[in-house]
């Protein structure tokens, strides 16, 4: 196990609703990234947070937003859900300032279904 936990495991929402997904980073990790993995696809980078500030974003609209808390837990919020938002959402944590080999540790993900 990586020490990265996510909740909930599964979630079903309807189109137009809002959702909050939660992640608890591995102890000592100060950087968290969020990814979206559609069925049969590789993960796509949404954004990353370092010291409670967003410092990198992929090709996702503003209705995807996040928060990182002082205890390095974090949230992913998605507003105005669309059917295409159905996916596995992964968070990953690492310690900034380390090399590539100290890479991200992924949580098990939250499976979101939008009906």
Partner 1 sequence: QKEVEQDPGPLSVPEGAIVSLNCTYSNSAFQYFMWYRQYSRKGPELLMYTYSSGNKEDGRFTAQVDKSSKYISLFIRDSQPSDSATYLCAFPSGGYNKLIFGAGTRLAVHP
**Can you give the binding site for partner 1, defined by CB under 8 A?**
2, 4, 31, 33, 35, 40-45, 48, 56, 58, 90, 92, 94, 96, 99-101, 103-109
Nearer to partner 1, 43 or 66 (CB): 43
Nearer to partner 1, 75 or 108 (CB): 108
Question: Any long-range contacts for 74-79 (C-beta under 8 Å, 24+ apart)?
Answer: 74/22, 74/23, 74/25, 74/32, 74/34, 74/49, 75/20, 75/21, 75/22, 75/23, 76/20, 76/21, 76/23, 76/34, 76/46, 77/18, 77/19, 77/20, 77/21, 78/18, 78/19, 78/21, 78/112, 79/18
Tell me the closest approach of the beta carbon of residue 100 to partner 1, in angstroms: 5
Nearer to partner 1, 40 or 70 (CB): 40
């Amino acid at each position: 196990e990586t020490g990265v936990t996510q909740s909930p495991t599964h979630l079903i929402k309807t189109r137009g609703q809002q959702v909050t997904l939660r992640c608890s980073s591995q102890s000592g990790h100060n950087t968290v990234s969020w990814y979206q993995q559609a069925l049969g696809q590789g993960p796509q980078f949404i954004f990353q947070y370092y010291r409670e500030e967003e410092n990198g974003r992929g090709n996702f609209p503003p209705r995807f937003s996040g928060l990182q808390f002082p205890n390095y837990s974090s949230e992913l919020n998605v507003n105005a859900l669309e059917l295409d938002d159905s996916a596995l959402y992964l968070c990953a944590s690492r310690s900034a300032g380390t090399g590539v080999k100290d890479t991200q540790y992924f949580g098990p993900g939250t499976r979101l279904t939008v009906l």
